[in-house]
Amino acid sequence: MRIRFLVPGNVRHGSGGNKYNAKLAEHLTVLGADVETVRVDGDWPVGSPADKQRFAEALDGGTTVIADGLVASGAPEEVAGAVGKGTKVWILSHMALADHGELEAKALAAATGIICPSSHSAAELEARHGPQTIVIATPGADKANPAQGSQPPRIVAVAALLPNKSQTLLVESLASLQDLEWEAALIGSENADPAYAAEVRAAVEHYRLEDRISITGELSGIALDEEWHKADLSVLMSQSESFGMVVTESLAHGVPVLVRRGTGAEEALGDSGAGAVTDAKVLADKLRAWLTNPALQKRWRNNALQAREHLQGWDATAATVLSALATKPQSLL
């Protein structure tokens, strides 16, 4: 099967969506698909006429297209035009658009089908736009060696520094725990939103935590592996999250995770034990309990190690998508 995979060119940091797209393309190829990944530049999710023309041209020429929702959801006429000419256009909706709901609804209606990375994101899409033809392809996780941890305990937050990721909330919570021993690392791009990154740095300085909280910037490869190797606990406080691939990445290293209640990260976490919180005070209370209770540390660690043994690989994600692409859309309803 030939697949043209259209991804946004204006998201340049290591977002979960970008990582999912890259892993999906890689493993579709492993399964025998001929995948061409095309970056579509533009001011997405609603591009200029020139951006939309570029998108329309990218849609042309392939019998099957997977288009990232950040691009496709703002260009319903282009999606409809391509489908009308015989191209199968599947929209990969990582998360419903915060704005432009009317455009998104039209694009989804025009598409051959929709792929979502979680039940949470699919439910959010249907709550906004009614029943849809949706295939759920949850992210996989790469195998990794169990983390060794640190002394004092090391807390990591792996996410781009963005308002939605709420790193300032974590800093506020840690500020109330200065009577305890711990260290922390905020690992993620500072370029995605420089103004917010400056707020995070200012919060660290305000609470005089420069010696205890490091801001590393975006890491990958060996540098990121080394951070996971030292980690004892992972925290993801996103206000909204379709799935939260960093959750399964944490569990792949045997590192327990605390997430924000009501987000798709709870789906990724499952029953692995660390749980979900609602605000800075609850987070601080959870962290204090964990830092002062060795039995709790051991239980969360054992739960994460157990979850590690049952994580889905990316081959399963790709197989789900490939099966959907080869199925007549009406049979998915």
* In-domain check, residue 58: yes
Question: Mean of the per-residue pLDDT values for the chain?
Answer: 93
* In-domain check, residue 46: yes
Spatial distance between the Cα atoms of 44 and 13, rounded to a whole number of angstroms: 15
Per-residue pLDDT at 10:
72
Per-residue pLDDT at 330:
47
Claim to verify: residue 126 and residue 252 sit in the same structural domain: no
pLDDT of 98 higher than 90: no
Residues 6+ apart with CB under 8 A from 65: 3, 4, 5, 6, 59, 82, 87, 88, 89, 90
Claim to verify: residue 191 and residue 278 sit in the same structural domain: yes
Nearest by Cα to 149 from 183, 186, 188, 187: 183
Spatial distance between the Cα atoms of 37 and 39, rounded to a whole number of angstroms: 7
Claim to verify: residue 196 and residue 170 sit in the same structural domain: yes
Mean pLDDT of 300-309: 96
Cβ pair 114, 134 in contact under 8 A: yes
Res. 149 pLDDT band, cuts 50 70 90: very high
First to last CA, the chain: 23
Nearest by Cα to 133 from 165, 164, 154, 110: 110
Per-residue pLDDT at 327:
82
* In-domain check, residue 145: no
pLDDT of 61 higher than 70: no
Q: Which range, 62-66, 131-135, 180-184, 268-272, is most confident? A: 180-184
Domain with residue 59: its CATH number is 3.40.50.2000
* Strand ranges in the chain using DSSP code E only, listed in sequence order: 2-8, 34-40, 64-68, 88-92, 113-116, 134-136, 154-158, 183-187, 213-217, 233-236, 257-260, 276-277
If one compares 199 and 333, the residue with the highest pLDDT of the two is 199
Claim to verify: residue 43 and residue 118 sit in the same structural domain: yes
Total domain count for the chain? 2
Structural domain range at position 172: 154-308
* In-domain check, residue 59: yes
Claim to verify: residue 299 and residue 319 sit in the same structural domain: no
Spatial distance between the Cα atoms of 290 and 299, rounded to a whole number of angstroms: 10
Tell me the chain's radius of gyration from C-alpha atoms.
21
* In-domain check, residue 73: yes
Claim to verify: residue 28 and residue 158 sit in the same structural domain: no
* In-domain check, residue 8: yes
Res. 13 pLDDT band, cuts 50 70 90: low
Claim to verify: residue 301 and residue 245 sit in the same structural domain: yes
